[in-house]
Structure formats: structure tokens, C-alpha cells
Chain A
Amino acid sequence: MIEMPDTLKFHFDVDGSDFSSAGEASVVVKKKLRQLGYPADIIRKVSIAMYEGEINMVIHANGGTAEVEIHENEIVIILSDHGPGIPDVNLAMQEGYSTARENIRVLGFGAGMGLPNMKKYTDYMKIDTKVGEGTTITMKVYL
């Protein structure tokens, strides 16, 4: 009998030096989920959450890694970086709060909606962050 693996895993290195490629990992994951036949609302949630997390690693943390695990009951997204960390998570979670500078805002980033959207469009979100060490954000979308 052939055992089907019950978990699909993807790993991405997110380049922090190239703003123009930001979001590419999310696009790959979205296409994969579409191929696998997941419902549109699930794809939308994962796309929004992962995109925002990926962008944050690029614009605030000089890049990082993204792991996506597709389980039977949930999709797990883990974003890790060795950036500056988030000093005040409650403040950072507020809609509209952004430390993005003008040179980044002219590119369309820095609306201050990333973290709130990640929270809103996932079923679970945990932020582990330490100033000077980095940030790991775990998000889950239940299937």
C-alpha cells in the first residue's frame, strides 16, 4: 500500500534586498493552493496573511524565511526573520500604525494594515519577537 504524505511543506527564502520581488513567495503558494483545488475563500485568507507577513519581512526586517505547511485540517504559515524585532506589539497591531519611511511609502507599502489584516484573515496568529533578535509569526487558517 502506498502511503500518501498527509502534510505538504514549502520553504521560501525571502530576499530583503529587493522590494520589487516582495510577494513572490505568496504568489507561488496561492497558485499551488489553486492547483490543489482549495476553496476561493481559503486561498484568499492565506494569500492576504502570507503576503502581508512576507512584505513585512522585506520592508522591516531585511528578509527572512517562510514555511507553509498544508495539513489535513489547517494551513500553517511560519514567517521568521532576524530583523530588529517589534518593541511594542500592541501598538504595531493597531490599524494605521506604521514605522515605514517615505521611500517605502511611495512604493505603496506602509498603510499600517499588515498585522491587523494578518490577524483578521487567519484563525490563529502568534507573534514571537525580541528587540535586536528578530520576529517569528505563526498563523493558521483552518480548513
Chain B
Amino acid sequence: MKLESLCNSLSLKVITGDTEREFSGVYVGDFLSRAMTCVKQDYLWITIMTNSNVIAVASLTDAAAVLLAEDVVLLPDALEAARENGITILSSSLDAYRLCLHIGKLLEES
């Protein structure tokens, strides 16, 4: 599924980056070492971490995008790093569980 249709269906905010890419799976978690091995290429990574280490992990794993849950706000240097590295950052007021419920439904329908 394309990030763009995910954004439209769930009214996600696009903090930075484009939504052209497709995502092929989802991982939820905040421990960076766990994300490092569980986020696969083209995955959507849902987290509430907001520091620039998130950008390093997203970049190293080739994640399709980072989806920030619960309206958490990326720290300024992390936002800058995301722009520099071309990482797409999305955001939602929903928590990770609700996001997954919605995404699961969408993926089932598509």
C-alpha cells in the first residue's frame, strides 16, 4: 500500500518527506536495538520516540516512513536529520494500538 493512501485514510499529518513510497509491513516499538532488526526495508515504523536516533535507525533500516503516534513531536535536530536523509515522517493523534487496528483493516481490504 502506498503511504499516500494510508495518510488519506487515517488523516495522518505529513511532517516531512514524500508519500510516494509503498510500505510492505509494520513494526511498532521504541527500543532502538529492537527496531534495528525488526524494521525491514520498506516497513512503516510506529514509535513515540522523538530524538534523532530514530532517524539513524530509519535510515539504516530503509524504513518507508516513521509514524509518530500520540501526537508526539520530533525534536528540532531530529527533524533536520530527517530532511537531510530524506526520511518521511508522519504523525497521528492515535496511539500505536489504534493505528495498528486501522492499518490492519486497510491492509485486509486492499
Contacts and interface: CB of A to CB of B under 8 A. Distances in A.
Interface of A: 19-24, 26-27, 30, 40, 44, 47-48, 51-52, 55, 107-114, 117, 121
B77 interface: yes
Given A26-B56, A51-B60, A108-B32, 19 more contacts: A19-B51, A20-B75, A20-B78, A23-B60, A44-B41, A44-B61, A51-B56, A51-B57, A52-B33, A108-B30, A108-B35, A108-B49, A108-B51, A109-B32, A109-B33, A111-B32, A113-B34, A117-B37, A121-B37
A47 B58 CA distance: 11
Nearest to B34: A111
A108 B31 contact: yes
A107 B51 contact: yes
B36 interface: yes
A20 B54 CA distance: 9
B5 interface: no
B60 A26 contact: yes
A22 B59 contact: no
Contacts of B41: 40, 44
Contacts of B78: 20
B57 to A, nearest CB: 7
Nearest to A108: B32
Contacts of B35: 108
